[in-house]
A = this chain, B = another copy of it.
């Protein structure tokens, strides 16, 4: 076997182990009896360790090097080798002792965070946050970076993303969003926030969600939808991708938008080239691109007037309560813009102010210009400036998210990047598919899905995320399209 064939075979094993772990994790969230936890933890730990050892063995480094030294480029081998190199370096540069120390610190930190959040007492979490920041800074040093240690961490989730590119993008975005907020809030909040609330039986929600996901193009012969406490999408391998959602019996849009979001992720997974399974060309490229697919379907399709032109009467059949609400009012209610304290409950506009806040704070923590103990003050001041509201306590402030307690610094920006990408991609699709608005208004999503398959899904990790966006939309990533989308949607007069 050539070095390349050996690499392919090894990485196929790693993919099989990863897919097996995905089934075990999915099962843990959906069906596992509670006393199964200890053995499940052992199984998952063992499979993860095995996959890590297989992927980081020294012979893997040798095979990659042999491939790199060979002549000539090849449309399959070249991107695979480039990405295997990236993965290998990322996994081997951080010493095992530091990985272990981090894993251990995260485990204590998560416990402390749960407790701190429960009693809204930041001081319980503070020493853990401090420790994790220091360890992540050391991790960044090992990973390497040009300008900021925060770059090395963002790169783990969004290959190629740096402060140099992200900061101006987010600054642009912030300025426009803050300017738009008062007008859009006024336009979208004329109805009481609870006007949608009614009786929406779960079986009717499940049937409706299934119908919408199928209309989007989600292949139920290669996937399913289950119920979990926190919605997610798990790609187990070609032919098996699972979505989850949760139900609010008083508001069907909660589970519906959850399903549309996760089905957006699922369509990406189902659109990856099956023949490249086990190689980078068969994998999703980044969190920011993955999130672009989920947000495109959730926000640009699911919250559009066109989409509901077709689906409103179907929804009325499924949920008689809805017939009391005029379509225009319904559309306003699912697009309500209003500042709030909690990120995961935020609307399409203010969501990004939450992310900008986190970006600034975690960047400062990792760069050493902010100390852990000063996070609540910094958070609350910045929140007041961005939202014009006073944070009542840390549980509704800097303690609300699980990410930092899990050692995830550099992850938050991918959410906003997902929305920026979604807007830019959707604008390109609108330009290139003249029938798109009409298609959606008649319940047809095939033209959009086909376009996404061709311009995004099929490439796997062939291009870095920013390059993929440039190829798909003919421009580098910009804040403009999300702003335009919001302005157009609500007929803003702002310039």
Binding site for B on A (CB under 8 A): 13, 16-17, 19-20, 23-24, 27, 31-40, 42-43, 46-47, 50, 219-224, 226, 236-240, 277
Contacts and interface: CB of A to CB of B under 8 A. Distances in A.
A238 B37 CA distance: 10
A238 B43 CA distance: 12
A307 to B, nearest CB: 26
Contacts of A42: 16, 237
Contacts of A27: 23, 27
B39 A277 contact: yes
Given A23-B23, A27-B23, A46-B13, A39 B237 contact: yes
B43 A20 contact: yes
Nearest to A27: B23
Nearest to A26: B27
A43 B19 contact: yes
A221 B36 CA distance: 8
Given A27-B27, A35-B219, 6 more contacts: A16-B43, A33-B220, A33-B224, A33-B239, A36-B222, A36-B240
29 contacts: A16-B39, A16-B42, A16-B43, A16-B47, A19-B39, A19-B43, A23-B43, A31-B31, A31-B226, A32-B240, A33-B222, A33-B239, A33-B240, A35-B238, A35-B239, A35-B240, A36-B222, A36-B236, A36-B237, A36-B239, A36-B240, A38-B239, A39-B237, A39-B238, A39-B239, A39-B240, A40-B237, A42-B237, A50-B50
Given A23-B27, A24-B23, A240-B40, A221 B46 contact: no
3 tightest A-B CB contacts, nearest first: A36-B240, A35-B239, A39-B237
B239 A37 contact: yes
A491 to B, nearest CB: 43
Given A24-B23, A43-B20, A31 B239 contact: no
